[in-house]
Chain A
Amino acid sequence: MADVSIGPPDGDRLFGGEDTSNADRAQLLLVAGLVMAVSLVTLVVLLNATIYSENVATRGIESADGEALEVRATAVDGTGELLDATNRAGPTDHADAAETVRNGVKDLDREASRSYAERGGVARIELLEIRNGSRITTDMAAVDPNASTLAADVDRTRGFVLDVDPGSLVETNASGAVDNAFHVELNDSTGGTHQVYVYNGTDGNVTVAVGDNSGEPTVWCETPPDGRDRVAVDLTGERLGGRSCPGIWPTALVAPDDAYDITLMSANAAAGEAAATVRAVSGDTVTTNLTGGRQPAVYEATIGLRYRTAELRFETDVRVVPGEPNA
């Protein structure tokens, strides 16, 4: 090893004795070189650490995050479509409807498990609970022209859609709608009545107006008929002719604690069909004047949803009620 100590001068080391080529004077250069080499290595390590960190930063859990939301959407949408399809198919009784939903959720779970296992995730969907109700459909022509109770003593309604013929609607304005226009009356046992009127405005547009306690309503939304045979008024989905129309379903009846009645009024002022899925405040079957159009139905389902990957865990129990008004 190079001697870097400072001692008494040694003639042989300094001058190499008789042979000057043996001189030993490069220790300092060696040390300087060593210091520079170590410094450069340190710089390189720092540079690499920074590059590595920035590289790692471009990764993350974004994809896993998206997958968990995708699993949830798949499960909720799939179960919602299953409920609607089951109800539309006209089950013989509530037990038949529940069995169909139970089998459908099992199929959905099997498909989701297989699909997400291929991507390195574990997905699990299970049916936890079913709440029964009734699906009521009717033609306006079959409804009492004065008043007909579509559903009595209900506490939840979803998928309440009026498919009306624009040509059949009475032409009036907001003040005349109270007496002349077809409307739906929602009789809240604790909060008075709410009316939703559907008529042709004086400008020819299909108009939806909202009022309380049979007072003069406020025009809420309009849509031109554009030659359509039917215009959909989705009361619980709060849409008119496929366009958003927020606020037509009374806020007090989104998640009420008490029961309310749904009545179709002045049904001779409109032609078309009405359909709703409702949940009785007690029992499975909803009371209605339109017994011919009442079918057993599944109102809602609660599913347990689990999704896991190496980095992420997502668990929740979701209440699936397609077409229920948003809180």
Chain B
Amino acid sequence: MRERRGSGRKRLLSDERGVSVTVGYVLTLAIGAVLLSGVVIGVGGVVDSQTDRAVRGDLSVLGQTTAANVESADRLARAAEADRSNAAGATNASVSVAVDLPTRVAGIPYRITVDNDAVTLRTNHPEATLEIPHAARLNVTPASVRGGPIRIEYDHGAGGTGNLTVVER
């Protein structure tokens, strides 16, 4: 053990501790490390669970927003097709709805998939998938786009009706 400065009989006699300074220091560090680990693990778990909840909540909100806009575009497209002129040179029925969505949810990128029945949003870490059914009557071209600002488009000129398409902006 290293000699302490100023040590001597008087100091030794007045020292009432039962362990050496080194042991005491190591114990202090160990206890501190255990406490710190506990805090990190505990708080980290809370953060992870809250992140998961936030991701699912945000995906739900964004899914509902996307589905509502798909249905709006569907209403507008059907209105554009109603009594549309079939004369030669007539303009196509054309509808475009821009939707501002965030590029990340709780700091995590995500993807949006649409088809005839539903809007599906998905993240990889944490792995979360949320499917929101929509009630669009026109066909929706199946597509998968990165989460972020999107545009729902309809452009049709021939007889019958066309398809709604979701693209990135």
Residues of B within 8 A of A316 (CB): 79-81, 84, 91, 93-94
Checking A9, A56, A302 against B61 with a beta-carbon cut-off of 8 angstroms, the contacting residue is: A56
- The reply to whether the CB of A294 lies closer than 8 angstroms to some CB of chain B is no
Give residues of chain A (16-50) contacting chain B, Cβ–Cβ below 8 Å.
17-18, 25, 28-29, 31-32, 35-36, 39, 42-43, 46-47, 49-50
Which residue among A8, A311, A317, A320 has the maximum number of chain B CB atoms within 10 Å of its CB? A317
| Docked CA distance A47–B47 (Å) | 11
| Docked CA distance A273–B66 (Å) | 54
Question: Are B61 and A65 in contact, with the CB atoms below 8 A?
Answer: no
Question: Are A313 and B43 in contact, with the CB atoms below 8 A?
Answer: no
Give residues of chain A (57-92) contacting chain B, Cβ–Cβ below 8 Å.
57, 60-62, 65, 68-69, 72, 76
* B 76-108 binary contact with A (CB < 8 Å = 1; else 0): 100111111101001111111111101001110
- The reply to whether the CB of B135 lies closer than 8 angstroms to some CB of chain A is no
Nearest-neighbour CB distance to chain B for A53, whole angstroms, equals: 5
| Docked CA distance A318–B53 (Å) | 48
Chain B interface, DSSP helix/strand/loop, else mixed: helix
Give residues of chain A (301-316) contacting chain B, Cβ–Cβ below 8 Å.
302, 304, 310-316
Nearest-neighbour CB distance to chain A for B13, whole angstroms, equals: 16
Question: Are B85 and A315 in contact, with the CB atoms below 8 A?
Answer: no
Q: Given A28-B36, A43-B47, A318-B83, verify A9-B93 contact (CB < 8 Å).
A: no
Residues of B within 8 A of A128 (CB): 85, 87, 90
Smallest CB gap from A306: residue in B: B91
| Docked CA distance A98–B29 (Å) | 96
Query: Which of B2-10, B123-131, B138-146, B158-166 is the interface stretch?
Result: B2-10
Q: Given A14-B21, A316-B94, verify A35-B87 contact (CB < 8 Å).
A: no
- The reply to whether the CB of B167 lies closer than 8 angstroms to some CB of chain A is no
- The reply to whether the CB of B75 lies closer than 8 angstroms to some CB of chain A is yes
20 A-B contact pairs sorted by A residue (CB < 8 Å): A14-B24, A28-B32, A28-B36, A29-B32, A42-B47, A50-B57, A53-B58, A53-B62, A57-B65, A60-B72, A62-B72, A65-B97, A76-B83, A128-B87, A128-B90, A302-B87, A304-B91, A312-B95, A316-B81, A316-B84
Residues of B within 8 A of A68 (CB): 76, 79
Residues of B within 8 A of A321 (CB): 83
New A-B pairs, 4, CB < 8 Å, besides A42-B47, A72-B80, A319-B85: A9-B21, A50-B54, A57-B61, A317-B91
Smallest CB gap from A129: residue in B: B87
Question: Are B85 and A302 in contact, with the CB atoms below 8 A?
Answer: yes
Residues of B within 8 A of A14 (CB): 21, 24-25
- The reply to whether the CB of A1 lies closer than 8 angstroms to some CB of chain B is no
Checking B44, B50, B85, B98 against A317 with a beta-carbon cut-off of 8 angstroms, the contacting residue is: B85
Checking A11, A39, A317 against B46 with a beta-carbon cut-off of 8 angstroms, the contacting residue is: A39
- The reply to whether the CB of A2 lies closer than 8 angstroms to some CB of chain B is no
Residues of B within 8 A of A32 (CB): 32, 35-36, 39
Question: Are A311 and B97 in contact, with the CB atoms below 8 A?
Answer: yes
Residues of B within 8 A of A28 (CB): 29, 32-33, 35-36
| Docked CA distance A39–B38 (Å) | 13
